[in-house]
Amino acid sequence: MTRIFVFPGQGSQARGMGKDLFDSFRDMEREADEILGYSIRTLCLDDPDGNLVRTQYTQPALYVVGAMAYRRRVEQLGDTPEFVAGHSLGEYNALFAAEAFSFTDGLKLVRQRGALMGNASGGGMAAVVGEDITNIREMLAEAGETTIDLANHNSPRQSVLAGPKEALERVAPYLESRKGVRVVPLNVRTAFHSRYMAPTKAEFGAYIAGFKLSPLMLPVISNLTALPYRDDEIAHNLVQQIDHPVRWVESIQYLLQEPEPTFEEIGQGTVLTKLIEEIRRVPLPVNIARRY
């Protein structure tokens, strides 16, 4: 059996998350409070000001809960997994698990990432449900929509588009003209994982350059390449991830080639578990790249 831990990203947050973790990991709570300048427990459990949906708060909250959940699960098992992967923000938890950086350095990176992404504006995102990614690309080309990017490939029949809101609204009826296709606007005001995040990527690149990153102790699957990280790619991949798509389907298909792959979602929610179930139902492509 190959044990694989996966960590969810933004969108999985919920008030009350981590309620069974904070009392057990007070050291991590204290460190988080010191770095963030507010009570992470209050944000996650009570969210009195409604900040949990704001990117600059969502990302640190999910990272902290994911890191605590990872420590708890490793303590329970008495061992680490064979592979780790994370969806977008969740990749930081995967890298923490692999000891690329300390809990506190990871939180500093996530805090800056969340702040930069939270300050970005313009554009939007929409999920396309019920169609495969090849047909979506073809339909966008047929519609002449050159300003929209594919931001996430989450499952064989669920992808996320990012771009100007007017373009997303314009193309939605065309996509929905295909039987069984639904387009669901997402409640964001920024086109994450698209070309429109290039300025944010540049700022984050300057910030991460000040951190020392360590060789990985576990294989981590990269959102950018859908392959295991090399030690010299950590900063580069995290920077590029900001304006490149999350290749979740390919990442899971890579891992499905391992002997008896067993996936376990660590952190808040079961979003990734459901996506992985969908990906498992589709036959693997004939030629999937292998790095090792």
pLDDT, residue 6, reads 98
Per-residue pLDDT band for 289 (boundaries 50, 70, 90) equals low
Q: What whole-number distance in Å separates Cα of residue 133 and Cα of residue 81?
A: 31
Domain of residue 171, CATH code: 3.30.70.250
Same domain, 55 and 93: yes
pLDDT, residue 189, reads 85
Q: What whole-number distance in Å separates Cα of residue 29 and Cα of residue 88?
A: 23
Per-residue pLDDT band for 46 (boundaries 50, 70, 90) equals very high
180-209: average pLDDT: 96
**Secondary structure element (H or E) that encloses residue 86, with its range:** strand 83-86
Same domain, 39 and 142: no
Taking alpha carbons only, the member of 117, 82, 126, 148 closest to residue 241 is: 117
C-beta separation of 66 from 266 below 8 A: yes
| Distant-in-sequence, close-in-space partners of 145: CB < 8 Å, separation ≥ 6 | 163, 167, 170, 171
Same domain, 67 and 161: no
pLDDT, residue 188, reads 87
Same domain, 102 and 143: no
pLDDT for 50-61, tens place per residue?
Answer: 999 999 999 999
Report CA torsion sign: 249, 92, 163, 129. Answer: positive
Same domain, 116 and 131: no
Q: Residue 292 pLDDT > 90, yes or no?
A: no
Q: What whole-number distance in Å separates Cα of residue 182 and Cα of residue 121?
A: 25
Same domain, 115 and 198: yes
Instruction: Return the ∠ at Cα 185 (arms to 11 and 181), rounded to 5°.
Output: 110
Q: What whole-number distance in Å separates Cα of residue 278 and Cα of residue 169?
A: 27
Q: Residue 94 pLDDT > 60, yes or no?
A: yes
Q: Residue 195: phi, psi to the nearest 5?
A: -60, -25
pLDDT for 236-282, tens place per residue?
Answer: 999 999 999 999 999 999 999 999 999 999 999 999 999 999 999 99
25-47: average pLDDT: 98
Assess if residue 78 is contained within a domain. Answer: yes
- Please give the structure tokens belonging to residue 201: 């990527």
pLDDT for 104-154, tens place per residue?
Answer: 999 999 999 999 999 998 899 999 999 999 999 999 999 999 999 999 999
Taking alpha carbons only, the member of 9, 172, 119, 114 closest to residue 161 is: 172
What are the Cα distances from residue 280, in Å, to 74, 75, 151, 171? 26, 29, 21, 30
Catalytic residues: 88, 193
Indicate the residue among 134, 161, 185 that finishes a domain. 185
Helix (H, G, I), strand (E, B) or coil at 29: helix
Number of residues written out for the chain: 292
At 168, the amino acid letter reads: L
The alpha carbons of the chain give a radius of gyration, in whole angstroms, of 19
Same domain, 179 and 262: no
| Distant-in-sequence, close-in-space partners of 233: CB < 8 Å, separation ≥ 6 | 222
- The number of distinct structural domains making up the chain is 2
- Please give the structure tokens belonging to residue 31: 């460190």
- Please give the structure tokens belonging to residue 273: 């578990």
Indicate the residue among 152, 185, 218 that finishes a domain. 185
